[in-house]
């Protein structure tokens, strides 16, 4: 399948928002369109303000976060259209602290660079064709090139294939060379060492 992976850059902010406008996700309820706004590294997260109550607010904040570089990841293109998204970011201390309530994520040493994979959205008609895998492979390749020590993700041992499985299946991470690093009550931290 002809898929091109591109890193999300500020000039793609509107195209990114459009992908969420038109791609069914999160049980396809319009008011739950997320624009992946939670997973970002900006300081406004400090207010506990990681979510915005209306779709319009999430859309406009997401565009700003992409433009300022606090919302990072990769887009999958097919036939000139965006068909997939992977949120992968670093220095998201507040996101990771939030996830620590659920996953046994260790405190990071200051000298270790960790890239976190937070979310995937693949267009429903193109799921199970290897697009999330391609995105994950690219995350790992670029993270290695950029000097990261690990790529890390936070998954559920039981993949039940609902919109809550947006973190991606454990089987996919294992195929991409990740290993299980820690687990608490079925929530598994997986890591791929890059050095
Ligand atoms: C979960 C998801 C990311 C997988 O993306 P994908 O491109 O279909 O995944 P891939 O084709 O790369 O599959 C990789 C591996 O993951 C596993 N996998 C993927 N989909 C699966 C499914 N439905 N059931 C079981 N295993 C699955 C398989 O091991 C698969 O490898 P295989 O096809 O060789 O067996 C995708 O289904 C998705 O986007 N779901 C919706 C997420 C969502 O709603 N996000 C927004 C939340 S607000």
How remote is the CA of residue 127 from the centroid of ligand 1, in Å?
6
32 CA closest ligand 1 atom index: 48
> What is the pTM assigned to this prediction?
0.96
Short-list 3, 88, 93, CA closest to 41: 93
Query: For residue 91, what is the domain's CATH number?
Result: 3.40.630.30
> To which H or E segment does residue 25 belong?
none
Q: Is 195 in the pocket of ligand 1 (CB under 6 A)?
A: no
Write out the residue range of the structural domain in which residue 91 sits: 4-193
As a whole number of Å, the end-to-end CA separation of the chain is 31
> What is the number of domains present in the chain?
1
Tell me: the pLDDT tens digits for 30-89? 778 899 999 999 888 777 678 888 999 999 999 999 999 999 999 999 999 999 999 999
């Amino acid at each position: 399948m002809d898929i091109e992976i591109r890193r999300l850059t500020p000039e793609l902010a509107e195209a990114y928002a459009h992908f969420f406008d038109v791609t069914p996700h999160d049980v396809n309820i319009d008011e739950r369109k997320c624009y992946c706004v939670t997973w970002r590294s900006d300081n406004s997260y400090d207010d506990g303000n990681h979510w915005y109550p209306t779709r319009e607010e999430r859309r406009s904040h997401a565009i700003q976060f992409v433009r300022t570089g606090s919302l990072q990841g990769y887009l999958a293109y097919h036939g000139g259209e965006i068909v997939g998204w992977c949120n992968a970011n670093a220095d998201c201390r507040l996101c990771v602290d939030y996830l620590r309530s659920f996953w046994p994520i260790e405190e990071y040493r200051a000298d270790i660079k960790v890239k976190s994979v937070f979310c995937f959205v693949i267009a429903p008609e193109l799921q199970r064709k290897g697009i999330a895998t391609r995105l994950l492979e690219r995350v790992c390749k670029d993270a290695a090139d950029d000097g990261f020590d690990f790529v890390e993700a936070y998954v559920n041992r039981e993949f039940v294939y609902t919109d809550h499985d947006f973190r991606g299946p454990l089987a996919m991470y294992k195929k991409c060379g990740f290993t299980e690093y820690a687990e608490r009550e079925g929530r598994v931290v997986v890591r791929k060492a890059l050095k």
